[in-house]
């Protein structure tokens, strides 16, 4: 019984969605079947993406020294750290939910919070394939305007977010990242 309560609490959202899906399947079969098919497709997509990402994260965690990450992307990295974070986010592949475990490893390695925000912002808005698609289908003027606006927006948001987070909370974020897998 001691194990069941924490499990239910931890997976309450998933269990709630399962109950809703079962409710829909029972009372509105057409909508319920559609919901289950969508859930199955999303689950299969996540299962095909997440294991390779976790393997790469494990390799990043083991192969790249904390001191190296701090040197290039840490608190005193300056503009160079932001550029590296931006390139990493723009060159990455996969849906946005993959960026968050990577951001956790970056935090664990001592990467400056602003650079983590830049990484996630770049991942979400400046993917290289998307930029190429825009350039060929919507024109270079549109692509460049959107790209410049996104870069400016990402930098402003990242700096503002870090400034708005109290130092105690920032320390807690790093402590949580260090203790996450323990």
Asked if residue 85 and residue 42 are part of one domain, the reply reads no
Asked if residue 84 belongs to a domain, the reply is yes
Q: How far apart are CA 72 and CA 64, in angstroms?
A: 12
- Residue 74 structural domain: 64-179
Q: Is residue 59 part of a domain?
A: no
Q: Which two tokens stand for residue 94?
A: 């996969």
User: Looking at the structure, do residues 81 and 140 belong to the same domain, yes or no?
Assistant: yes
Mark whether 39 and 95 lie in a shared domain. no
Cα–Cα distance list, 72 to 68, 106, 128 (Å): 6, 12, 22
Residue 79 belongs to a domain: yes
Is residue 72 located within the same domain as residue 145? Answer: yes
- Determine, yes or no, domain membership for 55: no
Q: E-strand spans in 25-133? A: none
Task: Identify whether residues 44 and 77 lie together within a single domain.
Answer: no
Residue 24 sits in the same domain as residue 100: no
Quick check: is 157 in a domain?
yes
Do residues 118 and 86 make contact, with C-beta atoms less than 8 angstroms apart? yes
Same domain, 99 and 158: yes
In terms of domains, do 45 and 69 share one?
Answer: no
pLDDT in tens, 108-126: 999 999 999 999 999 999 9
Taking phi over 0 as left and psi of -120 to 50 as alpha, with beta for the rest, 78 belongs to left
> For each of the chain's 182 residues, which pLDDT tens digit applies?
577 888 888 888 888 988 998 899 999 999 989 988 998 898 898 888 888 888 888 888 788 888 888 899 999 999 999 999 999 999 987 888 889 989 999 999 999 999 999 999 999 999 988 899 999 999 999 999 999 999 999 999 999 999 999 999 999 999 998 887 65
Q: Are 88 and 174 in the same domain?
A: yes
22 and 77 assigned to the same domain: no
Same domain, 40 and 111: no
Question: How far is it, in rounded angstroms, from Cα 112 to Cα 103?
Answer: 11
Is residue 97 included in any domain, yes or no? Answer: yes
> How many domains does the chain contain in total?
2
Is residue 57 one of the residues assigned to a domain?
A: no
Do both 160 and 74 map to the same domain?
yes
**Domain presence at residue 58:** no
């Amino acid at each position: 019984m001691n194990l069941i309560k924490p499990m239910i609490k931890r997976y309450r959202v998933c269990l709630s969605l399962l109950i809703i899906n079962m409710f829909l399947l029972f009372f509105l079969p057409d909508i319920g079947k559609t919901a289950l098919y969508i859930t199955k497709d999303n689950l299969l997509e996540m299962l095909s993406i997440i294991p390779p990402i976790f393997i790469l994260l494990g390799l990043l965690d083991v192969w790249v020294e904390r001191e190296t990450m701090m040197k290039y992307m840490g608190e005193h990295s300056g503009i160079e750290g932001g550029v590296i974070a931006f390139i990493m986010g723009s060159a990455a592949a996969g849906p946005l939910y993959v960026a968050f475990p990577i951001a956790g490893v970056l935090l664990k390695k001592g990467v400056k919070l602003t650079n983590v925000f830049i990484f996630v912002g770049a991942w979400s808005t400046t993917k290289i394939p998307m930029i190429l698609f825009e350039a060929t289908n919507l024109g270079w003027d549109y692509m460049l305007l959107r790209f410049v606006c996104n870069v400016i927006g990402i930098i402003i948001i990242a700096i503002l977010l870090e400034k708005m987070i109290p130092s105690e909370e920032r320390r807690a974020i790093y402590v949580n990242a260090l203790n996450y897998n323990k």
